[in-house]
Amino acid sequence: MLSAEIVLATFVFVLAVAIINHAYSRTLEGALSTTSDYRDVRTYSSLLLDSQGSQPDWDYASHGGRPLTLSSNGSINITKAAYLVALLADDEAATLSALSAGPYKIGIRIAGPDGSPVVADCPGCDCGGRCSVTLERYPAIGSNNIFTTEAPYRLVNSNGAGAGVGQVKLLFYRTYD
């Protein structure tokens, strides 16, 4: 009888310590990173979608050290988006590093008015040998989506010609483990 009580009390005590430790560490992580998460994803989102003025040019082959923006004078360049999607598909880690995206993974979806993802041309098959890329990509499962932004944007081709309007959706994920 006594040994059963000892086992029960020990089990409850260990369980309590484990739960407290788990909850505290998650909460502490949240408290420390909530502000910076919000600020960081806003920064990355604005860099990709809301860049203003003349931006340094970049493509699939030469992106190192250049800001990987998708916007040109307020419009979303779907060829740049194709470069980014192709880069993420071919080497996600290097692309996120080039974006200085820290612990975040990025998802993107650019759809036309009919709701289907836009298929963008890559001049000279410059997207890793692809001549066109479907502008939809999500990171591997196992991440938590912490920020989503979507809005109608004017779309332009690589030559700056208008390509109508579309819904641009950007998602930021972060893994906690």
Partner 1 sequence: MKNGTGRRGIAFAIDALFAIAVIAVFAISVVPAYPAFSATGDAAPDALSKLSSAMLRSMCLATASELSAESPEIAELYSDGNLTANDSEMTACQLVARLSLGGAESVARARNITAEAYGALIPPATGLAVYANDALVYNSTFEPASPGALHSSTAFVYTYGRAGVAAEPEGPIKMEARAWWP
| Closer to partner 1 by Cβ: residue 105 or 130 | 105
148 beta partners: 171
Q: How far apart are CA 78 and CA 108, in angstroms?
A: 12
List interacting residues with partner 1 (CB under 8 A): 1-2, 5-6, 8-9, 12-13, 15-16, 19-20, 23-24, 26-27, 30-31, 33-34, 38, 41-42, 45, 49-50, 73-75, 113-115, 144-154, 162-169
The sign one gets for the Cα dihedral 92, 95, 96, 97 is positive
| Closer to partner 1 by Cβ: residue 134 or 167 | 167
CB of 16 to partner 1, least distance (A): 4
CB of 98 to partner 1, least distance (A): 23
CB of 55 to partner 1, least distance (A): 16
CB of 8 to partner 1, least distance (A): 6
Size (the chain), residues: 177
143: nearest Cα among 170, 177, 109, 169: 177
